[in-house]
Amino acid sequence: MSRTRNAVWFGILLLTAPLCPAHAAESVAADTAWPLYGGTFSEERFSPLTRINKENVGQLGLAWSFNDFVVRGRTHRGNEASAIVVAGVMYFSGPWSVVYAVDAKTGKLLWKYDPGVDGQWARRTCCDVVNRGVAVWKGLVYVASVDGFLIALDASTGREKWRADTFVDRVSMNYASTGAPRIAGHNVVIGNGGAEMGARGYVSAYDLQSGRLAWRFFTVPGDPAKGPDESPDITLARKTWSTQSRWDLGGGGTAWDSMVYDPTLNLLYIGVGNGCPHPGWIRSPGGGDNLFLASIVAVEADTGRMKWYYQTTPGDSWDYTATQNIVLADLNLEGGIRKVLMQAPKNGFFYVLDRVTGKLISAEKYTTVTWADSVDPQSGRPRIASQADYSQTRKVIWPSQAGGHGWMPMSYSLQTHLVYIPVMETPMVFGSVPAAGVKFRSGANNEGDQVAFVVGPVDPALLRGQPQPVMQNRLEAWDPVSQKVAWSSKPMPIWSGGALSTAGGLVFQGSSDGAFVAYDAASGEVLKRIETGTAIMAGPISYEIDGTQYVAVLANFGGAMTAIGYLPGTAPAKYQNNERLLVFRVGGAAVPLPPVRTALTRFPLPAAISNDAEVLKRGEEVFERCAACHGFRGRLNGYPDLWNLPPEAHQNFEAIVLKGAYQYAGMPSFDDVLSAQDVRAVHAFIVADSIQLRKEDHR
């Protein structure tokens, strides 16, 4: 590691170190921290530590674990955060935006902060009430609650210092916040989610100390009938939208994950998401690129004014967000060292951009891609293939809406100069719906398409000469200079975790089958595999205290995959799916496995509520709203099984669904979209089908 990089790490540590607890002063000198979301402002997710290395990683074991994530009786949810370590204290967030501070050496809980999110807000999230992390700066911890508040906490006590409402509309749009705040100059910045639900994207910046709004950058135009454009940047973007655009659905473009700050250039790079509705022909009849959807936008950190933009997927109709993690680096390219920005967004191309100007340097496929043939090096635009158009007929298209790379962070090694990408390989059947049928629904998806993962035999007419579908993950080592694969891991179950590279010559990644694996960073050889029994999606981190290096990762399945169910081969299909934080060191112990799932106790069923065919048909139609979270016929997922409810749930079914009797636990009320008649119908359908299912099981 260069002297310059050593100085950068030490400077960050001093700036972020909290004043308390009492042992902090000793720890500043004794530990090497992980002070920012991606390690440094460049977010390489590379650790300069070497005490865990290729020679001794075979002795890696559990140092300690933290399991106290249950909040007020709520159901278990996904763990997606990356922890931060400053002055011997580890700060991390869990489901429902709860923040924890623990002793990074022992795991002892120092404090816990619960923002008190209303369970009703679970309806506003496309992908679970998860949280991807906190920011820590000069004695304050910042977290974005899922219901849209940016909150500053005292790092030593967890007491709330200030709270800012980041949502511009809490009534007619479906906003949620699941991303980690970022430090950018004098401000802390946060985006939001909701593009699948109906929202207009933006990023807000707040003064670090006072919480005062400094600026707001909207990522797509708003309804012109509601007022003038907020900035010349939005006026520029509006030219790329149809005048008949569906402003009632917000346009999308939410910046729900990656934002990276360059202190030298004082620029904030924002990854912008997909449109709403998904199909461009419904969202913006007549076409258009629809800026700044699926774009990387560079803005001045002090003012929020745009410096440049680059759109990865013009007119995006496939949910190909550019919200995946962005890495800043200095690459040795033809002509010398270039300041670059690197991203592997959902669309399957790996981009290297000049981060000063936004000019495209290179873009090549890092996974199977059939929606576009290539990216034109001069214009920077994709050469879109005929297979991409599903406006008239259903098509199988690679990648799926999950992307070639999801939110799970990639890592760039300053040692090997390779990027380690958690690649997802799976296509999706895309189909459109009639435009007239797309209407805003509060607390519901408003995507405008019909899609499905390919999990069985496929009609050859749909494939049209494409590769046979698979559904898997790989860890891929990518050379960003030559734009080629250096090595690739064996396949693993889809939705596996983020990556961490280290100066010890290692790459760490957890997977959805519960394995935590250490690879040789240069060759891809598996050097250590630890079975944890808990699916891992989050990105690992590493830090050192008193001469001992640790590797930590948060674990538990959830997020977008909860609605799909636990697929065969994933850990939750075998073991109980509870939140955990696992911390490893050389010489550690074996990881205790969670309890194995046993046959569930079958609660007695009530008598059939109705045998009327029309009532049961209506109940099945209504159930489509429930299936996204609860699954069908007890398919494993993170929510209660409606086919095996306890008697008290049947007795109070209407109160639960309409009046929010279980709202505190995360089951919101649906009285705004369902009638009492609807609820009785869906209850009748569930009971009738439960009776039928048990008859089938006894054959």
What is the per-residue pLDDT across 68-90, written as a single tens digit (0 to 9) for each? 986 666 777 899 999 999 999 99
Mean pLDDT of 660-664: 84
Establish whether the linkage from the previous residue to 409 is cis, with ω within 30° of 0.
no
Percentage of the chain beyond pLDDT 70 is 93
Domain residue ranges of the chain, discontinuous segments joined by +: 3-64+78-586, 613-697
CA distances from residue 346 to 319, 422, 513 in whole angstroms, order as listed: 8, 11, 22
Note the pTM of the prediction, 2 decimals. 0.93
Is a pLDDT exceeding 90 seen at residue 52? yes
What is the per-residue pLDDT across 365-399, written as a single tens digit (0 to 9) for each? 999 999 999 999 999 999 999 999 999 999 999 99
Q: What are phi and psi of 681, to 5 degrees?
A: -65, -45
CA distances from residue 447 to 358, 422, 442, 632 in whole angstroms, order as listed: 30, 26, 13, 21
Label the pairing between strands 526-531 and 428-432.
Answer: unpaired
Task: Tell me if 368 sits within 8 A of 454, measured CB to CB.
Answer: no
Label the pairing between strands 306-311 and 295-300.
Answer: antiparallel
Task: Tell me if 463 sits within 8 A of 442, measured CB to CB.
Answer: no
Give me the torsion for CA of 560, 566, 570, 574, rounded to 10°.
140
What is the per-residue pLDDT across 21-51, written as a single tens digit (0 to 9) for each? 333 333 333 468 999 999 999 999 999 999 9
Mean pLDDT of 611-636: 83
Of 109, 113, 104, nearest to 67 by C-alpha is 109
As a whole number of angstroms, the distance between CA 328 and CA 305 comes to: 20
pLDDT higher at 129 or 373 = 373
As a whole number of angstroms, the distance between CA 319 and CA 176 comes to: 18
As a whole number of angstroms, the distance between CA 192 and CA 165 comes to: 12
Mean pLDDT of 135-145: 98
As a whole number of angstroms, the distance between CA 516 and CA 559 comes to: 19
Provide the β-strand partners of residue 60.
Answer: 586
pLDDT of residue 698: 59
pLDDT mean across residues, the chain: 91
As a whole number of angstroms, the distance between CA 172 and CA 553 comes to: 37
pLDDT of residue 563: 58
Is a pLDDT exceeding 50 seen at residue 673? yes
Of 150, 158, 144, nearest to 91 by C-alpha is 158
Q: Which helix (H) or strand (E) holds 609?
A: none
Establish whether the linkage from the previous residue to 21 is cis, with ω within 30° of 0.
yes
494-498, 501-505, 564-568: segment of lowest average pLDDT? 564-568
Same fold, 3-64+78-586 and 613-697: no
**CATH superfamily of domain region 613-697:** Cytochrome c-like domain (1.10.760.10)
CA 96 to the chain's CA centroid: 14
pLDDT of residue 637: 65
Establish whether the linkage from the previous residue to 69 is cis, with ω within 30° of 0.
no
CB atoms within 10 A of CB 607: 6
**Is residue 244 classed as helix, strand or coil in its secondary structure?**
coil
What is the per-residue pLDDT across 441-485, written as a single tens digit (0 to 9) for each? 777 778 889 898 887 778 888 888 888 899 999 999 999 999 999
Task: Tell me if 398 sits within 8 A of 370, measured CB to CB.
Answer: yes
Is a pLDDT exceeding 50 seen at residue 14? no
pLDDT of residue 500: 98
**Is residue 583 classed as helix, strand or coil in its secondary structure?**
strand
Selecting from 2.140.10.10, 3.30.1180.20, 3.30.300.180, 3.40.718.10, what CATH number does the domain 3-64+78-586 have?
Answer: 2.140.10.10
DSSP per-residue string spanning 252-321:
E----S-EEEETTTTEEEEE---EESSSHHHHSTT----TTTTEEEEEETTT--EEEEEESSTT--S---
Catalogue the active-site residues. 319
Query: What tokens were used for 15?
Result: 């700036």
